[in-house]
Amino acid sequence: AQSVTQLGSHVSVSEGALVLLRCNYSSSVPPYLFWYVQYPNQGLQLLLKYTTGATLVKGINGFEAEFKKSETSFHLTKPSAHMSDAAEYFCAVSDYSGGYQKVTFGTGTKLQVIP
Amino acid sequence: EAQVTQNPRYLITVTGKKLTVTCSQNMNHEYMSWYRQDPGLGLRQIYYSMNVEVTDKGDVPEGYKVSRKEKRNFPLILESPSPNQTSLYFCASSLQPVNEQFFGPGTRLTVL
C-alpha cells in the first residue's frame, strides 16, 4: 500500500530564506508524485508534479521539487520565501492499489513566513 | 470556466438527519473523488469513481455513500450523520488519477 510522510506539520522561515518542505513516500511501483498548495479558506491547487523523465520538476511561483528514487523522497524547495507563500502544502502519491489507480495525500505542512 | 462546484458551502445539521453534498465538474473528467480534511490528519479519501457507475471505497468510507449516474456529478450522501463527521469536505476531479486533480471550494459541515 502506498503512503506519504511529510516531516514537520509546521515550518517557519524568514522572508527571503530558503524554503524546504520534506516529503517521503512508499510505493510498490514507480509513483506519480504531486505537491499541492492550500491558501486559507480555499481548495487545493497543483504546484507541480512528477510523472516520468527529468527528476527535477519546476512548478508555479518559483517552487521546484526533486524526485530521488533511492531516498524515496520528493522534497519541495524555493530559494527565497515571500510572504504570499504562507499556506499549507500537501504532498501526494498516486499508484495502482487493488487494480485501481489511487491517490494518497500526506498530512500537510503549514508554512509560516516571518517578515 | 473550468471548475468544480460544491453545494452547500456551509452546513449545520443535527445527528441523524440525512443530507447530500453535491459536486459537479464541467471538464469532462472521468476520475472524481471525495476527501475530508481534519486538523493534523490532512486529506483522507472517502470514495472515488473511475467513471460512470464505477465507484470504490477510499480510506474512510464508513458512514458515507456516493453515486455516479452522470459523468459530471458525484454527490456525497450522509444517510445518518454523526458528530464525528463534522469536517471540511472537498470534491476533486481529474482526467485520470495520475493527472492534476481540480478541487472544489470545500463544504464545511457541522453535525450537532
The Cα B112–Cα B48 span in angstroms is 27
Residue B2 scores a pLDDT above 90: no
Give yes or no for B89 touching A (CB within 8 A): no
Higher pLDDT pick, A2 / B85: B85
Per-residue pLDDT, averaged over B36-47, amounts to: 92
**Confidence (pLDDT) at A96:** 67
Q: Which residue has the higher pLDDT, B2 or B77?
A: B77
Q: Which residues contact A99 (CB under 8 A, 6 or more apart)?
A: none
Q: Is the pLDDT of residue A97 over 70?
A: no
Q: Confidence band (pLDDT; 50, 70, 90) for A27?
A: confident
Show contacts of A28-31: CB within 8 Å, 24+ apart: A28/A2, A28/A95, A29/A95, A29/A96, A30/A69, A30/A95, A31/A2, A31/A93, A31/A94, A31/A95
Nearest CB neighbour to A90, from listed B42, B58, B96? B42
The confidence band for A54, taking pLDDT boundaries of 50, 70 and 90, is: confident
Computed over every residue of chain B, the mean pLDDT equals 94
Q: What pLDDT shows up at residue A98?
A: 62
The mean per-residue pLDDT over the stretch B36-46 comes to 92
Pairing of strands B10-13, B107-111: parallel
Helix (H) or strand (E) holding B5: strand B4-7
Contact A105 B44 (CB under 8 A): yes
Quick one: average pLDDT of B41-68? 93
| Interface contact B42-A44, CB threshold 8 A | no
Q: What is the mean pLDDT of residues B79-83?
A: 97
List Cβ neighbours of A87 (8 Å cut-off, separation of 6 or more): A37, A38, A39, A40, A110, A111
Minimal Cα–Cα distance from B27 to chain A, Å?
A: 16
Are B103 and A90 in contact (CB < 8 Å)? no
Got the DSSP string for B57-79?
Answer: E-S--TT-EE--SSSSB--EEES
Residue A17 has pLDDT above 80, yes or no: yes
- Checking if the pLDDT of A99 tops 70, the result is no
> Which grid cell sits at B26?
464541467
